[in-house]
């Protein structure tokens, strides 16, 4: 177990002061007019012995940790998992590490996690915030921490966010069902005040309203336990036999919905047409393939990290918060077509 060497060891070995080494290592040699020859000698030696600065000490001194805190609803949800993956890649490429956690949409848990992140001195925050966390975020911002939200935002909090056009997404999907001739269209969503869910409901309502159709909305609770989602949907579909189409507000609800439909032995789209939010393997491979509102995950991740890196690099000039809205893509498949 070779002892870790420090900047002092290097300095002693080379008969130079540690200040000089520090300057050279931080690329400030030119600025400090350190001789090229010395720079080269130091660099060579450093590489030779494989010296790595202690990032902890560096962070303690500079107050920067080169770490980004990422908070998603649930890392095992495919939407968040892919976003996390893409953000991870981009962050590492820019010298940042990611610490992540799943909030479960739980305000209290999220508060604790924010505290943990603060403790660890993360340089910036990326999050899909749960409800009721406004105060904590505002406190963060007040202390000068960059925060970028995605998937949803908090109307009372003035910070950057990247979202999709939720309203148009469901409006468009609902219109598609109407155009196909469906008349009793249901919408299943989480009971939630989150912006994205509210817009999704609104888009659905708007589309129905424009055609004078009746609303059928089911709200389920957000929960890790699938049974708590499956049960109310089963109930709902059993009681509303007239429904001829259903739009699921999230991928998780969509997956659960498909399980219910399969258990009830309903035929898609003959008995019930289906559209779900988020496009992924379960929907693509389903028989029949399920029409889905595809979110541009790569674009979302790209935008999120770009916005955050900008803020991180330009801490000085407090720029105006940006809000970015991206388009979704309705992937039309058999599950939503009308059978003649």
* H-helix segments, the chain: 7-14, 18-25, 36-49, 55-62, 78-93, 107-119, 134-142, 166-179, 195-210, 227-239, 251-263, 281-285, 297-313
| Dist. CA 117–CA 110, nearest whole Å | 10
Q: Binding segment for a copy of itself among 14-22, 92-100, 185-193, 201-209 (CB under 8 A)? A: 92-100
Q: Counting contacts by CB under 8 A, is residue 76 touching a copy of itself?
A: yes
Backbone angles phi, psi at 267, to 5 degrees: -100, 130
Q: Counting contacts by CB under 7 A, is residue 35 touching DNA?
A: yes
43 Rama sector, left if φ>0, alpha if ψ -120 to 50, beta otherwise: alpha
Closest by Cα among 233, 240, 199 to 216: 240
> Residue 119 binds which entry of a copy of itself, DNA, none, with Cβ cut-offs from 5 to 8 Å by kind?
a copy of itself
- Contacting residue, 48, 155, 285, 313, with a copy of itself by CB under 8 A: 285
Q: Binding segment for a copy of itself among 28-36, 98-106, 169-177, 179-187 (CB under 8 A)? A: 98-106
Closest by Cα among 167, 168, 150, 147 to 158: 147
| Dist. CA 83–CA 151, nearest whole Å | 10
Q: Counting contacts by CB under 8 A, is residue 270 touching a copy of itself?
A: no
Instruction: Provide the sign of the torsion angle of the four alpha carbons 334, 335, 338, 340, taken in this order.
Output: positive
Q: Counting contacts by CB under 8 A, is residue 108 touching a copy of itself?
A: no
Q: Do you know the residue count of the chain?
A: 340
Q: Binding segment for DNA among 59-67, 142-150, 207-215, 319-327 (CB under 7 A)? A: 59-67
Q: Counting contacts by CB under 8 A, is residue 156 touching a copy of itself?
A: no
Q: Counting contacts by CB under 8 A, is residue 34 touching a copy of itself?
A: no
Residue ranges in contact with DNA by CB under 7 A:
4, 6-8, 15-20, 22-23, 25-26, 32-35, 38, 53-54, 57-58, 60-62
- Residues contributing to the site for a copy of itself (CB under 8 A): 1-2, 52, 54-57, 59-60, 65, 67, 74-76, 78, 81-82, 84-85, 88-89, 92, 97-102, 113, 115-116, 118-121, 142-144, 255, 258-259, 262, 281-282, 284-287
């Amino acid at each position: 177990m070779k002892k870790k060497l420090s900047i002092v060891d290097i300095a002693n070995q080379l008969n130079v002061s540690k200040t000089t080494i520090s300057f050279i290592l931080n690329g400030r040699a030119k600025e400090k007019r350190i001789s090229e020859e010395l720079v080269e000698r130091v660099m060579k030696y450093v590489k030779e012995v494989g010296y790595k600065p202690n990032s902890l000490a560096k962070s303690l001194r500079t107050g920067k940790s080169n770490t980004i805190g990422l908070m998603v609803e649930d890392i095992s949800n495919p939407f968040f998992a892919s976003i996390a993956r893409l953000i991870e890649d981009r962050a590492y490429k820019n010298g940042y590490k990611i610490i992540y956690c799943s909030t479960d949409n739980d305000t209290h848990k999220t508060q604790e996690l924010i505290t943990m992140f603060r403790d660890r001195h993360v340089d910036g925050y990326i999050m899909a915030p749960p409800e009721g966390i406004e105060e904590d975020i505002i406190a963060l911002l007040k202390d000068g921490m960059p925060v970028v939200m995605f998937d949803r935002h908090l109307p009372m909090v003035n910070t950057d966010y990247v979202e999709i056009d939720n309203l148009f997404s469901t409006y468009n999907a609902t219109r598609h069902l109407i155009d196909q001739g469906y008349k009793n269209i249901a919408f299943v969503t989480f009971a939630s005040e989150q912006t994205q869910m509210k817009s999704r409901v609104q888009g659905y309502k708007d589309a129905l309203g424009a055609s004078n159709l009746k609303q059928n909305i089911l709200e389920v609770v957000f929960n890790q336990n699938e049974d708590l989602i499956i049960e109310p949907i089963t109930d709902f579909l059993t009681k509303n036999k007239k429904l001829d189409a259903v739009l699921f507000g999230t991928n998780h609800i969509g997956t659960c919905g498909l399980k219910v439909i399969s258990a009830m032995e309903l035929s898609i789209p003959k008995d019930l047409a289906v559209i779900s939010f988020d496009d992924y393997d379960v929907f693509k491979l389903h028989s029949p393939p399920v029409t889905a509102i595809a979110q541009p995950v790569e674009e979302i991740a790209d935008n999120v990290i770009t916005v955050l890196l900008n803020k991180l690099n330009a801490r000085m000039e407090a720029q105006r918060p940006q809000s970015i809205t991206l388009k979704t893509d309705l992937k039309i498949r058999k599950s939503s077509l009308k059978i003649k």
